[in-house]
């Protein structure tokens, strides 16, 4: 792929040649005009504009005139500018979001058939070109001239002492911290679509897996998408005492073939052939469970998949690296993920993951799993699913209670104040939140949509069956309502709309899960007992242990790609296999007593999601911190409101305000220790 190598343009090369002199001239001119007190602001602002100014934005005279007439040189001018931007950007975000929401209604709500044009409306994003437009009409440059861009290091170091207004100014400038050309953005979009498509079609036809005796362990028509369905089949196989273990071993073998790319290309998404994943033999299908006719013997081959998995991953890397020169404060994809999206430094994330991976609780929980399984652990037991909260009520009992109470979406809407009061919100605050939420009947299982501007309301989309809501729908509705409650406070009660929201999605998920965890109490039923809570905690801990290693692989692979931009897909394959083994050997082999396992490399997100995986373990940690604080505080309501009014600052600053401590795994580990004691495991 000669056209698709990593970019090597530097920021300096895209700046006009006259820029350096023009910057010096304007720094002096504005410094003389507004005085010493403004000099630092002048220099930073002029340099920020220069960084993003291209030849097409105007010549030296135009640049100078722009800077001269748009610098807010005194506090009054700066206040007006700030207030206008804050108000108008809120309107822009809110109304764009409103258009999006309306355009998607036919697809999202229970409103009858979806026609082809409904999908086109639903797929349209009116805000797609806003940033380009704002550079074009120079509104972005005015913001950059007057408000500071910051690095994550500065936000972490100085953020705690900034005023709220300073924080809002930082978030305002940040919107314009990148000026990525349209063709680069398009390339990223295409790489994402292409790799997503590759993943979406990566099915294994399970009935066509045969063992050495030619036996088929899995039923006809079973088609599992890698890795999600394969992993979930491993989980459900724990319940099958007869064939479960053999099936799990076979799936592990399939996964390893995918990671190492020794999987025969022909067996992917193909019911025309049978495959023995141990010997790697491929034959024409001896049975038929689809419309596809069996392959003929001449056409069958076990030629391996030619590193397509890694070519896809590399494509996402090349595409995103092309944006590097246009993102001066976060000049790599890795930096954009950690410094911008997560706002937790990579080194700190790594340390948090290591704290879980090397925790002395791991061998204790492993021992408990081993005793429950009655056999030594095998590598696929990273997906053990035997920790289960016991249910004191049957699903049918719960369905009946819920259907009676919520026959329609309107019934749920009317009950929101009562629900919130049950969760400890004062009556006036419960009513206030309820007044900001509109309940709509959803087509799917349900979701929440914030308002994004104060003049609009949040939307709760919930599923109501013909004979009323069922328990599953109710449980989801409470979760989604948790998002709406957060959205209401973090938009309407935060002091600056520029700070609306929470630091990242892990926070809103953690808050939603807190409400969801109390759904039985809302129904006036008994809360889950201590034993049941303990099982839930152990399950979360084991998942965090598993996904922490997966996240480490994802991070290491991206570093490898940046270090080896000219590598072939085969070399990336070899490197990923080695990284997966190294991380396994360091953190899992001592527990599983087996070396060189490559399973950690199986996640599909690693191929098409641009280093998204570390969000999962961080999310688990945050959820435990928030939950622990709620328990400490007693009533959920007031604590929920206090936490969410902090808005979109760095995760650590938010968490210190919420719980007194920065983001970290301690709450998860403490809860796990207690859970082990409660179920009588550990030592
Ligand atoms: Zn959610």
Half-sphere exposure of 133 (CA within 13 A, CB side): 6
**Arithmetic mean of pLDDT, 397-402:** 95
Report how far ligand 1's centroid is from the alpha carbon of 668 (Å).
20
Q: What pLDDT score was predicted for residue 15?
A: 87
Say if residue 7's pLDDT is above 50: no
Report how far ligand 1's centroid is from the alpha carbon of 59 (Å).
49
Report how far ligand 1's centroid is from the alpha carbon of 271 (Å).
36
Report how far ligand 1's centroid is from the alpha carbon of 622 (Å).
14
Tell me: the pLDDT tens digits for 293-345?
989 988 899 999 999 999 999 999 999 999 999 999 899 999 999 999 999 99
SS3 per-residue string spanning 408-433: CHHHHHHHHHHHHHHCCCCHHHHHHH
Q: Which residues of 641-669 are buried (b: 16+ CB within 10 A; e: fewer)?
A: bebbebbbbbbbbbbbebbeebbbbbbbb
Report how far ligand 1's centroid is from the alpha carbon of 514 (Å).
11
Report how far ligand 1's centroid is from the alpha carbon of 145 (Å).
38
Q: What pLDDT score was predicted for residue 635?
A: 85
Report how far ligand 1's centroid is from the alpha carbon of 511 (Å).
9
Report how far ligand 1's centroid is from the alpha carbon of 179 (Å).
31
Report how far ligand 1's centroid is from the alpha carbon of 192 (Å).
23
Report how far ligand 1's centroid is from the alpha carbon of 604 (Å).
21
Report how far ligand 1's centroid is from the alpha carbon of 602 (Å).
25
**Arithmetic mean of pLDDT, 364-384:** 97
Q: Distance (Å, rounded) from C-alpha 231 to C-alpha 237?
A: 10
Report how far ligand 1's centroid is from the alpha carbon of 524 (Å).
23
Report how far ligand 1's centroid is from the alpha carbon of 433 (Å).
18
Q: Distance (Å, rounded) from C-alpha 9 to C-alpha 322?
A: 8
Report how far ligand 1's centroid is from the alpha carbon of 153 (Å).
30
Percent share of the chain, pLDDT over 70: 98
Q: What pLDDT score was predicted for residue 681?
A: 57
Report how far ligand 1's centroid is from the alpha carbon of 652 (Å).
21
Report how far ligand 1's centroid is from the alpha carbon of 598 (Å).
31
Q: Distance (Å, rounded) from C-alpha 217 to C-alpha 211?
A: 8
Report how far ligand 1's centroid is from the alpha carbon of 510 (Å).
8
Report how far ligand 1's centroid is from the alpha carbon of 112 (Å).
25
Q: What pLDDT score was predicted for residue 13?
A: 58
Q: Distance (Å, rounded) from C-alpha 597 to C-alpha 607?
A: 19
Mean of all residue pLDDT scores within the chain: 94
In 3D, which of 648, 646, 612 has the Cα closest to residue 629? 646
What are φ and ψ of residue 110, in 5° steps? -80, 75
Report how far ligand 1's centroid is from the alpha carbon of 486 (Å).
11
Report how far ligand 1's centroid is from the alpha carbon of 69 (Å).
46
Report how far ligand 1's centroid is from the alpha carbon of 495 (Å).
25
Q: What pLDDT score was predicted for residue 325?
A: 93
Q: What pLDDT score was predicted for residue 316?
A: 97
Report how far ligand 1's centroid is from the alpha carbon of 512 (Å).
6
Report how far ligand 1's centroid is from the alpha carbon of 469 (Å).
19
Report how far ligand 1's centroid is from the alpha carbon of 459 (Å).
13
**Arithmetic mean of pLDDT, 416-441:** 96
Tell me: the pLDDT tens digits for 230-245?
999 999 999 999 999 9
Q: What pLDDT score was predicted for residue 297?
A: 86
Percent share of the chain, pLDDT over 90: 91
Report how far ligand 1's centroid is from the alpha carbon of 458 (Å).
14
Say if residue 187's pLDDT is above 90: yes
Report how far ligand 1's centroid is from the alpha carbon of 246 (Å).
35
pLDDT level of residue 683 (50, 70, 90 thresholds): very low
Report how far ligand 1's centroid is from the alpha carbon of 281 (Å).
44
Alpha helix segments (H runs only) across 564-681:
569-587, 589-592, 605-608, 615-633, 636-644, 651-659, 666-679
Report how far ligand 1's centroid is from the alpha carbon of 423 (Å).
18
Report how far ligand 1's centroid is from the alpha carbon of 517 (Å).
13
Report how far ligand 1's centroid is from the alpha carbon of 446 (Å).
10
Q: Distance (Å, rounded) from C-alpha 83 to C-alpha 179?
A: 24
What are the DSSP calls for 495-529, one per residue? S-GGG-S-SSHHHHHHHHHHHHTTHHHHTTPPPP-
Report how far ligand 1's centroid is from the alpha carbon of 453 (Å).
20
**Arithmetic mean of pLDDT, 259-270:** 97
227: preceding bond cis by omega (within 30 degrees): yes
Say if residue 561's pLDDT is above 90: yes
**Residues 179 and 135: beta-carbon distance below 8 Å:** yes
| Polymer length of the chain | 683
Report how far ligand 1's centroid is from the alpha carbon of 86 (Å).
28
Report how far ligand 1's centroid is from the alpha carbon of 501 (Å).
14
**Residues 270 and 205: beta-carbon distance below 8 Å:** yes
Check the CA dihedral 504-507-511-514 and report its sign.
positive
Tell me: the pLDDT tens digits for 448-485?
999 999 999 999 999 888 899 999 999 999 999 999 99
Report how far ligand 1's centroid is from the alpha carbon of 462 (Å).
13
Q: Distance (Å, rounded) from C-alpha 233 to C-alpha 164?
A: 49
Q: Please list the residues that pair with 438 across neighbouring strands.
A: 459
Residues whose CB is less than 8 angstroms from the CB of residue 183 and which lie 6 or more positions away in sequence, other chains included:
none
Report how far ligand 1's centroid is from the alpha carbon of 422 (Å).
21
Report how far ligand 1's centroid is from the alpha carbon of 200 (Å).
23
Q: Distance (Å, rounded) from C-alpha 487 to C-alpha 182?
A: 31
What are φ and ψ of residue 69, in 5° steps? -90, -5
Report how far ligand 1's centroid is from the alpha carbon of 311 (Å).
32
Residues whose CB is less than 8 angstroms from the CB of residue 423 and which lie 6 or more positions away in sequence, other chains included:
515, 518, 521, 522, 635, 636, 637, 640
Q: Distance (Å, rounded) from C-alpha 535 to C-alpha 364?
A: 14
**Arithmetic mean of pLDDT, 94-120:** 95
Q: Distance (Å, rounded) from C-alpha 31 to C-alpha 530?
A: 66
Q: What pLDDT score was predicted for residue 392?
A: 83
Alpha helix segments (H runs only) across 382-470:
395-405, 409-422, 427-434
Report how far ligand 1's centroid is from the alpha carbon of 424 (Å).
21
Report how far ligand 1's centroid is from the alpha carbon of 518 (Å).
15
Q: What pLDDT score was predicted for residue 175?
A: 97
Report how far ligand 1's centroid is from the alpha carbon of 515 (Å).
11
In 3D, which of 145, 132, 187, 173 has the Cα closest to residue 324? 187
Report how far ligand 1's centroid is from the alpha carbon of 156 (Å).
27
Structure letter (DSSP) for residue 160: G
**Arithmetic mean of pLDDT, 341-362:** 97
pLDDT level of residue 604 (50, 70, 90 thresholds): very high
Say if residue 530's pLDDT is above 70: yes
Report how far ligand 1's centroid is from the alpha carbon of 53 (Å).
40
Say if residue 5's pLDDT is above 70: no
Report how far ligand 1's centroid is from the alpha carbon of 476 (Å).
9
Report how far ligand 1's centroid is from the alpha carbon of 505 (Å).
9
The token pair at 122 is: 């639903």
Tell me: the pLDDT tens digits for 129-140?
999 999 999 999
Say if residue 349's pLDDT is above 70: yes
Report how far ligand 1's centroid is from the alpha carbon of 100 (Å).
19
Question: Helices 530-563 & 666-679, crossing angle to 10 degrees?
Answer: 140
């Amino acid at each position: 792929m000669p056209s698709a190598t990593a970019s090597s343009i530097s920021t300096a090369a895209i700046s006009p040649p006259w820029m350096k002199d023009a910057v010096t001239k304007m720094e002096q001119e504005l410094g003389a005009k507004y005085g010493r007190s403004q000099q630092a602001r002048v220099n930073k602002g002029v340099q920020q504009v220069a960084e993003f100014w291209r030849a097409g934005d105007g010549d030296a005279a135009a640049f100078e005139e722009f800077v001269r007439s748009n610098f807010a040189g005194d506090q009054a001018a700066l206040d007006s500018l700030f207030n206008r931007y804050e108000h108008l950007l809120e309107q822009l975000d809110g109304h764009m979001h409103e258009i999006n929401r309306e355009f998607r209604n036919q697809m999202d709500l229970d409103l009858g058939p979806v026609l082809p044009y409904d999908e086109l409306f639903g797929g349209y994003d009116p805000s797609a070109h806003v940033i380009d437009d704002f550079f074009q009409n120079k509104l972005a440059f005015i913001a950059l001239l007057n408000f500071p861009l910051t690095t994550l290091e500065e936000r972490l170091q100085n953020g705690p002492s900034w005023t709220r207004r300073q924080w809002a100014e930082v978030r305002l400038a940040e919107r314009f911290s990148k000026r990525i050309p349209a063709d680069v953005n398009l390339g990223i979009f295409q790489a994402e679509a292409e790799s997503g498509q590759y993943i979406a079609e990566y099915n294994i036809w399970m009935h066509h897996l045969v063992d050495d005796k030619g036996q088929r362990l899995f039923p006809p028509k079973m088609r599992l998408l890698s890795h999600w369905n394969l992993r979930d089949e491993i989980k459900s196989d724990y319940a099958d005492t007869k064939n479960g273990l053999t099936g799990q071993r076979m799936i592990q073998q399939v996964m390893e073939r995918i990671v190492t790319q020794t999987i025969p290309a022909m067996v992917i998404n193909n019911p025309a052939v049978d495959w023995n994943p141990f010997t790697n033999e491929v034959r024409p299908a001896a049975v038929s469970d689809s419309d596809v006719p069996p392959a003929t013997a001449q056409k069958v081959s076990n030629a391996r998949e030619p590193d397509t998995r890694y070519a896809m991953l590399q494509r996402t890397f090349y595409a995103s690296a092309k944006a590097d020169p246009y993102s001066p404060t976060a000049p790599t994809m890795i930096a954009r993920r950690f410094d911008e999206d997560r706002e937790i430094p990579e080194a700190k994330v790594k340390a948090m993951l290591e704290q879980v991976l090397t925790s002395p609780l791991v061998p204790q929980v492993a021992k408990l799993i081993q005793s429950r399984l009655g056999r030594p652990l095998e590598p696929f037991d990273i997906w053990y699913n035997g920790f289960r909260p016991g249910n004191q009520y049957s699903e049918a009992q719960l369905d009946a209670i819920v259907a009676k109470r919520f026959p329609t979406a309107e019934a749920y809407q009317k009950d929101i104040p009562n629900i919130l009061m049950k969760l400890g919100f004062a009556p006036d605050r419960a009513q206030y939140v309820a007044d900001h939420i509109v309940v709509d009947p959803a087509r799917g299982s349900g979701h929440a949509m914030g308002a994004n501007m104060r003049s609009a309301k949040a939307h709760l989309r919930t599923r109501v069956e013909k004979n009323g809501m069922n328990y599953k729908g109710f449980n989801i509705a409470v979760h989604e309502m948790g998002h709406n409650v957060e959205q209401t406070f973090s938009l309407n009660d935060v002091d600056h709309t520029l700070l609306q929201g929470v630091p990242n999605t892990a926070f809103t998920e953690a808050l939603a899960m807190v409400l969801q965890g109390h759904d039985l109490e809302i129904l006036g039923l008994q809360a889950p007992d201590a034993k049941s809570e303990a099982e839930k905690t152990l399950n979360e801990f084991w998942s965090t242990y598993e996904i922490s290693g997966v996240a480490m692989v994802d991070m290491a692979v991206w570093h490898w790609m940046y270090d080896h931009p000219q590598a072939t897909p085969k070399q990336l394959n070899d490197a990923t296999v080695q990284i997966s083994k190294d991380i396994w050997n360091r953190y899992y082999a001592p527990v599983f007593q087996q070396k060189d396992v490559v399973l950690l490399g199986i996640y599909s997100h690693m191929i098409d999601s641009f280093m998204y995986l570390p969000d999962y373990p961080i999310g688990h940690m945050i959820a435990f911190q928030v939950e622990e604080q709620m328990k400490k505080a007693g009533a959920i309501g007031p604590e929920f409101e206090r936490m969410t009014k902090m808005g979109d600052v760095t995760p650590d600053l938010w968490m210190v305000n919420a719980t007194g401590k920065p983001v970290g795994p301690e709450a998860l580990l403490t809860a796990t220790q207690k859970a082990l004691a409660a179920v009588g495991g550990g030592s």
